[in-house]
Amino acid sequence: MKRRFSVALVFFNLILLLGSATIISADTLDDYLTGFTYQERKDMKIDSKELVALLKKGEAQLVDIRFPEEFAAWSMSFSVNIPLNELPSRLGELDTTKMIVTACPHKDRAALARMYLALKGYRVKYLKDGLLGLADLLRGDRAKEFINSTSQLKSRKN
């Protein structure tokens, strides 16, 4: 039992460290790992300020990968909820014209989702400060300004 837990923990830590914002051409996880670079390590993450800038320009899709009950308890109105365990069957809901940003309260499940999507060929990052960091950033006047700017973007498209 201890060994199984250790192997799982090592694999999970690898997932948190790996990734790329660009399309990955690896055929297997082995190929991806052997081609992993410092640049990819940097490119796999995005912080809340960077995400907000992309959302304001309509260039990102925030995917909240928490369970439906968690999403129902609290969520960002501008995100789409695709739980991690439903992701493989709901890929059609992703906007491939935008940067996909996976998120959960911290980053554990978001990193797993990012790895999965990256290996499927999506342009994807995970939110490194998590939904809690995003909620902290979008308080008070910043929330009002963000919602107003994204509303204006939507109205220009319609």
- Tell me the CATH architecture of domain 2-157: 3-Layer(aba) Sandwich (3.40)
Q: Which residue has the tokens 């690898």?
A: 14
The domain locations on the chain are 2-157
Rg for the chain (alpha carbons), in Å? 16
pLDDT of residue 21: 39
pTM: 0.80
What HEC string does 31-83 produce?
HHHHCCCHHHHHHCEECHHHHHHHHHCCCEEEEECCCHHHHHHCCCCCEEECC
> Residue 146, exposed/middle/buried by CB under 10 A (0-12, 13-18, 19+)?
middle
- Mean pLDDT in consecutive groups of 10 residues from the start of the chain, 158 residues: 47 44 60 89 96 96 98 96 98 97 96 94 97 95 89 69
